[in-house]
Amino acid sequence: MFDLIGAEPPLANALRRIMISEIPTVAIEKVTMWQNTSIIPDENLAHRVGLIPLKVDARLLEFHDPSKEYSEHDSLHFKLHKVCSKKDPSAPMILNSTIHDEEKLYNNPNVYSGDLEWIPKGDQQERLGNLRPIHDDILIAKLRPGQEIEMELICEKGIGKTHSKWSPVCTAYYRLLPDIKITTPIKGQEAKDLKKLCPMGVFDIEEIGGAAFVKNQRKCTTCRECLRHE
């Protein structure tokens, strides 16, 4: 969050739109599904992994030319291979109760973003460092004994207006920041009433002097409750 001072709303909105759709990032674009016996259809699974945010500096990669083959300069390669099996032979195949700990009964019952394995090409290891998803605990799929997921993934550089998976922000918004000033000191019971009046916690009372002051003007929703009680 940042303050933009001395600018008109159209400029603030332009910055918001640029952040959403024009800043390049890197995301999974091509998925080769070698095996998927989970309950999630192939197309849904490919869509899920495509939305996993990757910790990659997009400035270090080039945009891919569709008429050419992928190279170490315009793509990243990952693989994912997980097989679920029983730890305890007597464990049920399907759990109908949440009281059981599936991690104790099965091997790989949950497939997470941290299970993606990067396959460096050429000098990518030295040039890009160790690449990982931004979060390792994003759930991709749940597996049960005998189910397997195996896929290869290719990442490309892109922008949000092509697809939302390349957007570097989940939500970008702006709002006008209220300018709240107390010109006449408010003390005693009036200060207490003012603090109680605003449920958002905009106002507070000084420990020394007991005067009301603006604690956090960002929380003001311009509900006009203050004006009604002037």
Are 54 and 149 in the same domain?
yes
Are 128 and 219 in the same domain?
no
| Segment 23-81, tens digit of pLDDT | 999 999 999 999 999 999 999 999 999 999 999 999 999 999 999 999 999 999 999 99
Q: For the residues of 75-98, what is the DSSP string, one character each?
A: -EEEEEEEE-EESSTTS-SS---T
Looking at residue 93, which CATH number applies to its domain? Answer: 2.170.120.12
Sign of the Cα pseudo-torsion (156, 158, 160, 163, in order): negative
Question: Domains in the chain: how many in total?
Answer: 2
Are 84 and 148 in the same domain?
yes
Answer whether 200's CB lies under 8 Å from 218's CB.
no
Please check the confidence at residue 143 and state whether its pLDDT lies above 80: yes
Q: Is residue 16 part of a domain?
A: no
CB 109: neighbour CB atoms within 10 A? 21
Residue type at position 206: E
Average pLDDT over residues 187-197: 84
Residues of the domain holding 138: 24-158
Residue 205: what pLDDT? 86
Are 153 and 216 in the same domain?
no
| Segment 86-109, tens digit of pLDDT | 887 877 777 665 556 788 888 999
Q: Is residue 219 part of a domain?
A: yes
Looking at residue 203, which CATH number applies to its domain? Answer: 3.30.70.20
Residue 26: what pLDDT? 94
| Segment 105-142, tens digit of pLDDT | 889 999 999 999 999 998 898 888 888 999 999 999 99
